[in-house]
Amino acid sequence: MLNAGAQAESNIEVHKYYNGTVILAAFLALVLQAFLHKFGRWSELIDLPLLVTIYFGVSRRNPVSGMFLGAAIGILQDALSHDNPIGLYGIAKTLVGYLASSVGARIDTEHPVSRFALVLLFFHFHQVVFATTQRVLLDRHAPIFTLALLRDSVVTALFGVIFFALLDRLRRPS
């Protein structure tokens, strides 16, 4: 007899996407994140590569693929960033991708409130890992929490709910 946890886990659908969707979404997020800051500081409020990592990690529900997606996006974001050595975003987004996939495999993340909460939590988890890595490996002071980061996390989470609804339209019919 199956227990309730195993039964609930088997009811969660793994989403499939059209070929190239993940690569195209990650590429566009990286390009926009790298170049939108030239048009104003408002673009620094949202972390698009983080949103793509969370969305596809939660949707595909495979911790290994989530980890590799997070690593690839993070390392490419490091390569496009002029402020950080390669590896800082890679480490943080690898862990976020793994955890997002693990969470997506256990709970239903389709509701906008749960998506908002997930993005908010993963944003702060990402910041803790990023700041800790900077402190330990580079001996640089990096803030773990500030009011500006709280504002950024709320804006990213609100945008994430809308962004995730748009990405839902790229799913292949089952």
Q: Can you give the three-state secondary structure of the chain, one letter per residue?
A: CCCHHHHHHHCCCCCCECCCHHHHHHHHHHHHHHHHHHHCHHHHHCCHHHHHHHHHHHHHCCHHHHHHHHHHHHHHHHHHCCCCCCCHHHHHHHHHHHHHHHHHCCCCCCCHHHHHHHHHHHHHHHHHHHHHHHHHHHCCCCCCCCHHHHHHHHHHHHHHHHHHHHHHCCECCC
Has residue 135 got a pLDDT over 70?
yes
Confidence band of 105 (pLDDT split at 50, 70, 90) = confident
The answer to whether residue 164 scores a pLDDT higher than 80 is yes
Mean pLDDT of the chain, nearest integer: 89
Question: Residue 3 pLDDT more than 70?
Answer: no
Look at 135 and 34; give whichever has higher pLDDT: 135
| Structure confidence by residue, pLDDT tens digits, 26-83 | 999 999 998 887 777 777 789 999 999 999 999 988 999 999 999 999 999 999 987 8
Interhelix angle 63-80/21-35, nearest 10 degrees: 30
Question: In the prediction, which pLDDT does 109 show?
Answer: 83
Q: What is the CA radius of gyration of the chain?
A: 16
The overall pTM is greater than 0.85: yes
- For residues 118-125, average pLDDT: 97
User: What is the C-alpha to C-alpha distance for residues 9 and 125, in angstroms, rounded to an integer?
Assistant: 24
Q: Give 109-119 pLDDT, tens digit per residue.
A: 889 999 999 99
Is a pLDDT exceeding 50 seen at residue 4? no
Q: How far apart are CA 22 and CA 9, in angstroms?
A: 24
Whether 5 has a pLDDT exceeding 60, the answer reads no
Domains belonging to the chain, first-starting first, are: 14-168 (1.10.1760)
